[in-house]
Chain A
Amino acid sequence: DVKVTQSSRYLVKRTGEKVFLECVQDMDHENMFWYRQDPGLGLRLIYFSYDVKMKEKGDIPEGYSVSREKKERFSLILESASTNQTSMYLCASSLTDRAGNTIYFGEGSWLTVV
């Protein structure tokens, strides 16, 4: 089975702190994604990466950056956390060997910024 692991399930950070959310997948997937989930808004794509060191902005990249130094690891960075970034963050991954591949999700990281 595909395993997408988000190392921190619950975090509480202060406004202005730098926050790192880490994600690791164990299936050699080329694509990795960060989504943000908010009630009534569904999931919105922040960033995705289709290869090591490659990244593309999603729908809501403002206030976030990402890093992909190794194929299995994709980090989401909040340079200066703000209260409006309190949310659930979902990491995901997929293969690129064929079109329409299933995207597999991690369990999510609950971030509260106070």
Chain B
Amino acid sequence: AQTVTQSQPEMSVQEAETVTLSCTYDTSENNYYLFWYKQPPSRQMILVIRQEAYKQQNATENRFSVNFQKAAKSFSLKISDSQLGDTAMYFCAFMKQGYSTLTFGKGTMLLVSP
């Protein structure tokens, strides 16, 4: 079974600064997908970024980027130029190749302050 670990229950950052959220996972699979989801206080869970394990290049979406280290089984999320609207719970998630379900970490609550 796969497990996803987010070791930071809470983090805080000031506006315009950069913050990195950590995620590690455990799997014996070689092909899989990794995701970061964001859940703002309104509760709608939305996809931030996804990474295919077979791709060595790190995924980037505007101010969001990942540092994917396959050998270390690490998948951290970097948020640049943090904005107040980035305040949310962030979940790291794993999907096995050939499957449709996600395994989630316990989440990191990020607070962005003025």
Contacts and interface: CB of A to CB of B under 8 A. Distances in A.
Contacts, number: 54
Main secondary structure of the interface of B (DSSP, over half): loop
B100 A107 contact: no
Interface residues of A, number: 27
Interface string B16-47: 00000000000000000101010000111111
Interface residues of B, number: 24
Contact of A42 (B47, B97, B101, B104): B104
Interface of B: 9, 33, 35, 37, 42-47, 50, 52, 91, 95, 97-98, 100-107
Interface of A: 31, 33, 35, 40-45, 48, 50, 58, 88, 90, 92, 94, 96, 99-108
